[in-house]
């Protein structure tokens, strides 16, 4: 019941937001609903409900391992949104608020989907619900970004539907009765028709990989993150991509049960390394600090994909990384949004001296940069360290060397952009824009909290979370 409330509550909130008369007070619905959602998610994390195997929906160990952090991310972003929408009085926010709430409701559904078709419907709906969020600014550039997102994302989701149908046919051909829950598909195991399973895996990896932003299907990501408001970027990078990642994990366990696990792992490893490489190369070239965050997200999705290829221990590290990456990205996106708003540009060519213009946001941005490039003692350092140790134990020496090389290049790329905008003397033209931004508590505290959480996750990883990640690994790779 509580787990259904996670979905229903935000959707009802979205309806209320759509009917709410005042643009001024409407944004407060976001933290109210977000807070209730977070409370529910934490309660479910502490005392999970019993999931019966045949359920189409349920707060199973995998949902329990990921959904709380998405909820946490959403709540903190919702607090920021109140301050943000107060500054952006010039834009109507009815659709924006309603769609943000719809997105978190549908994300909750997607994370809890234990049925192949339901999972697809959930992720497809999230993709479409995010469209109005991307062109909130209604500039030509934001519409261009939305068009690319829609075309690339839509094709990806179409391919994942085709993949789902292929997996369904694999079950049917193997004598299955048409039960498309993941439990039933895994139970059918080697009874699934292998050629169809292989085709399904390729299509589902490409389809959900597009949504996750794995290279070479990542092209929508820098555009969308570059043009969307900071909170939307944070929710896309930390919430929407994770639902695609859990989808891949669920499908991977079916493919493993069907006896094609080795091929699946190899493709995940290769696509993960390729994503890291592509991201590192583009990070070295980009001149826009919001697009930079998009490429950084591609890099981290690559890390998740590599983790998923390394069995239960790798999944443990990947789930840890989902948490640390989501929280760190939140700090980066929100502080970048502050700088972008104060300086009126996101390009290295126009922005200089952010440390003078927006001292607090610039400090947060620099600290966030160190966190995301895996400097100790932030969360990403420990999750990536864990991943590398798992990979070494697995004998993946070459892959580890490549990971480390890409991380180093990414550090060069990111630090180059960050210091270019933070250092130096502000451009004379930039000073006029300052009046638009007061570094108010509403825009500084949320990224600070994100950074604090990232630090806390690295230093004191709670035992409860560690147990939850182990349980999720056990769900995906059951010990016979």
Partner 1 sequence: MNLNVLIGLAMGLNLLALGSSRIPSVIRAMSVQGVLLGIMPVLLATELDWHVAIVALATVTGKGLVIPALLRRAMRAVSIEREVEPIVGFELSLLLGAGATIGAVATARWLPVLPEHSGTLLVPGAMATVATGFILLVGRVKAITQVCGYLILENGIYLFGLLLIRSTPVLVEAGVLLDVTVGVFVIGIIVDRIQRTFDSLDTRKLTALRE
**Which parts of 391-410 interact with partner 1 (CB under 8 A)?**
none
Q: Is 151 in the site for partner 1 (CB under 8 A)?
A: yes
Q: Which of the ranges 219-227, 272-280, 419-427, 463-471 carries the binding residues for partner 1, by CB under 8 A? A: 219-227
First to last CA, the chain: 31
Number of chain residues interacting with partner 1 (CB under 8 A): 49
How far is the CA of 31 from the CAs of 100, 390, 448, 480, in angstroms? 11, 38, 17, 44
CB atoms within 10 A of CB 77: 28
Q: Is 416 in the site for partner 1 (CB under 8 A)?
A: no
Compute the half-sphere exposure of residue 228: CA atoms within 13 Å on the CB side of its CA.
30
Q: Which of the ranges 175-183, 244-252, 405-413, 441-449 carries the binding residues for partner 1, by CB under 8 A? A: 175-183
Q: Is 54 in the site for partner 1 (CB under 8 A)?
A: no
Closest CA to 357 of 277, 434, 417: 434
Contact assessment for residue 413 and residue 292, using Cβ atoms and an 8 Å cutoff = yes
Longest dimension (CA), the chain: 72
Take residue 76 and report the two structure tokens written for it: 């903190």
Which of 71, 93, 102, 164 is close enough to bind partner 1 by CB under 8 A?
A: 164
**Cα 28-98-105 angle, rounded to 5 deg:** 100
Q: Which of the ranges 18-26, 75-83, 173-181, 443-451 carries the binding residues for partner 1, by CB under 8 A? A: 173-181
How far is the CA of 238 from the CAs of 71, 407, 409, in angstroms? 10, 19, 23
Q: Is 158 in the site for partner 1 (CB under 8 A)?
A: yes
H or E segment and range at residue 358: none
Least distance to partner 1, CB of residue 162, Å: 5
State the residue for tokens 């996101």.
346
List the x/- string, 107-126, binding to partner 1 by CB under 8 A.
--------x-xx-xx--xx-
Least distance to partner 1, CB of residue 147, Å: 6
Least distance to partner 1, CB of residue 326, Å: 25
List the x/- string, 194-213, binding to partner 1 by CB under 8 A.
-xx--x--------------
Q: Is 281 in the site for partner 1 (CB under 8 A)?
A: no
How far apart are the C-alpha atoms of 451 and 275, rounded to whole Å?
Answer: 25
Residues that bind partner 1 (CB under 8 A): 115, 117-118, 120-121, 124-125, 128, 131, 135, 138, 140-141, 143-148, 150-151, 154-155, 157-158, 161-162, 164-166, 168-169, 172-173, 177-178, 180, 193, 195-196, 199, 222-223, 226-227, 282, 285-286, 291
């Amino acid at each position: 019941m509580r787990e259904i409330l996670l979905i229903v509550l935000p959707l009802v909130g979205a309806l209320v937001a759509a009917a709410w008369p005042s643009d001024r007070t409407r944004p407060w619905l976001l933290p109210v609903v977000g807070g209730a959602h977070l409370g529910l998610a934490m309660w479910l994390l502490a005392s999970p409900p019993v999931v019966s195997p045949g359920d189409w929906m349920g707060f199973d160990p995998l949902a329990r391992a990921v959904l709380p952090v998405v909820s946490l991310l959403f709540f903190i972003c919702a607090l920021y949104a109140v301050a943000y929408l107060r500054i952006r009085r010039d834009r109507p926010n009815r659709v924006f608020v309603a769609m943000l709430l719809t997105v978190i409701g549908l994300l909750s559904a997607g994370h809890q989907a234990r049925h192949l078709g339901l999972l697809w419907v959930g992720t497809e709906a999230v993709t479409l619900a995010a469209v109005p969020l991307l062109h909130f600014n209604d500039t030509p550039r934001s519409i261009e970004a939305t068009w690319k997102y829609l075309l690339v994302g839509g094709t990806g989701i179409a391919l994942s539907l085709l993949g789902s149908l292929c997996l369904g046919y694999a079950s049917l051909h193997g004598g299955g009765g048409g039960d498309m829950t993941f439990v039933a598909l895994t139970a059918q195991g080697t009874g699934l028709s292998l050629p169809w399973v292989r085709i399904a895996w390729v299509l589902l990896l490409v389809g959900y990989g597009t949504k996750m932003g794995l290279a070479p299907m990542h092209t929508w990501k820098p555009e969308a993150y570059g043009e969307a408001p900071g909170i939307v970027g944070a929710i896309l990078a930390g919430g929407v991509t994770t639902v695609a990642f859990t989808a891949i994990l669920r499908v991977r366990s079916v493919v493993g049960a069907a006896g094609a696990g080795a091929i699946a792992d190899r493709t995940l490893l290769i696509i993960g390394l390729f994503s890291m490489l592509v991201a590192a190369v583009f990070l070295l070239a980009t001149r826009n600090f919001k697009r930079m965050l998009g490429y950084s997200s591609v890099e981290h999705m690559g890390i998740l994909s590599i983790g998923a290829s390394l069995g239960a221990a790798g999944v443990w590290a990947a789930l840890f990384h989902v948490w640390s990456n989501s929280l760190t990205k939140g700090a980066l996106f929100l502080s970048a949004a502050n700088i972008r708003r104060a300086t009126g540009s996101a390009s290295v060519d126009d922005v200089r001296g952010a440390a003078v213009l927006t001292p607090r946001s610039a400090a947060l941005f620099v600290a966030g940069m160190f966190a995301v490039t895996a400097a100790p003692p932030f969360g990403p350092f420990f999750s990536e360290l864990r991943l590398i140790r798992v990979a070494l134990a697995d004998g993946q020496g070459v892959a580890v060397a490549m990971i480390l090389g890409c991380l180093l290049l990414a550090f060069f790329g990111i630090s180059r952009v960050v210091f270019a905008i933070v250092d130096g003397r502000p451009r004379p033209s930039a000073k006029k824009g300052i009046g638009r931004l007061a570094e108010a508590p509403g825009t500084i505290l949320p990224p600070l909290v994100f950074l604090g959480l990232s630090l806390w996750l690295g230093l004191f990883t709670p035992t409860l979370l560690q147990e939850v990640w182990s349980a999720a690994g056990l769900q995906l790779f059951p010990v016979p």
